[in-house]
Chains A and B, each alone.
Chain A
Amino acid sequence: MELPPHQQARIDVEADVSDLLGVDNVPLALPIAGMGSRLLAASIDYLLLLLVITLVILIATATMNAGLVPVDWFWPVFGLLLFLLQWGYFLGLEVTMEGQTPGKLMLGIRTVGDQGGKAGMGSLVVRNLIRVVDVLVAVPLFFIDRQARRLGDHLAGTLVIHERLEHEDSVSLGRIPAGWSAREVAVAESVLARVPHLLPERAEWLAGLMLERLRRDDPDAQPLPDEPAPVALARLLDARRRVW
Chain B
Amino acid sequence: MNYATFVRLRQGFWEDFGSRIDEARRHPRRLDYDQLEALAVDYRRLLHDQALARSRFAGTATSRRLERLAIEATHLLQADDRFRRWRPMHWWRVTFPAAFRRTLPAIGVSFALFLIAMSFGLVLAAIEPALGMTFLPPEAIENLRRGTLWTESIFAVTPPAVASTQIATNNLSVVLTAWAGGALAGLLSLWVILLNGLMLGAVIATTMHYGMVGPLLDFIAAHGPLEISLILVAAGAGLTVGQAMVRATDVPRGVILRAAARDAVTVALGCLPWILLLGFVEGFVSPRPELPTISKALIGWLLWSAFVATVAIGRVEQA
Contacts and interface: CB of A to CB of B under 8 A. Distances in A.
Nearest to A180: B3
Contacts, number: 192
Interface string A86-123: 01000000000000000000000010110111111111
Contacts of A24: 44, 47-48
Contact of B74 (A117, A133, A176): A117
B261 interface: yes
A76 B161 contact: yes
B59 A182 contact: yes
Contacts of A185: 3, 57, 60
A193 B71 contact: no
Given A154-B254, A193-B61, A122 B7 contact: no
How extensive is the interface on chain B, given as a class?
Answer: 35 or more
A118 B68 contact: no
B84 interface: yes
Given A72-B161, A137-B184, A182-B58, A244 B74 contact: no
Which of A75, A123, A126, A175 lies at the interface centre, i.e. has the most chain B CB atoms within 10 A of its CB?
Answer: A126
A132 B165 contact: no
A185 B61 CA distance: 9
A29 B67 contact: yes
B177 interface: yes
A78 to B, nearest CB: 8
Interface in B4-42: 4, 7-8, 18
Interface string A191-219: 00100000000000000000000000000
A141 B188 CA distance: 18
A172 B62 contact: yes
B79 A118 contact: yes
Nearest to A172: B61
A168 interface: yes
Nearest to A116: B74
B68 A79 contact: no
B83 A122 contact: yes
B78 A113 contact: yes
A170 B183 contact: no
A129 interface: yes
A148 to B, nearest CB: 15
What class of interface size applies to chain A in its complex with B?
A: 35 or more
A12 interface: yes
A173 interface: yes
A11 interface: yes
B54 to A, nearest CB: 7
Contact of A170 (B50, B61, B83, B162): B61
Interface string B64-86: 11011011101101111111101
A79 B168 CA distance: 10
Interface in B140-191: 159, 161-162, 164-166, 169, 172-173, 176-177, 179-181, 183-184, 188
Contacts of B177: 132-133
B257 interface: yes
Given A26-B48, A137-B184, A119 B62 contact: no
Interface string A120-149: 111101100111111011000000000000
B241 A155 contact: yes
B57 A22 contact: no
A117 B261 CA distance: 20
B76 to A, nearest CB: 8
A23 B64 contact: no
Contact of A155 (B57, B72, B257): B257
A154 B184 CA distance: 12
In the A-B complex, the 4 residue pairs with the smallest Cβ-Cβ separation, listed nearest first, are: A117-B78, A120-B80, A186-B59, A122-B83
29 contacts: A23-B47, A24-B48, A28-B74, A75-B165, A83-B169, A83-B172, A87-B176, A115-B78, A120-B82, A122-B262, A125-B265, A130-B261, A132-B177, A133-B184, A151-B183, A155-B257, A155-B258, A155-B261, A164-B68, A164-B71, A165-B72, A168-B64, A168-B68, A170-B64, A174-B4, A180-B3, A186-B63, A244-B65, A244-B68
Given A76-B162, A133-B188, 14 more contacts: A11-B59, A12-B59, A28-B50, A31-B71, A72-B159, A72-B161, A76-B164, A79-B165, A87-B173, A116-B74, A117-B80, A121-B83, A132-B177, A174-B4
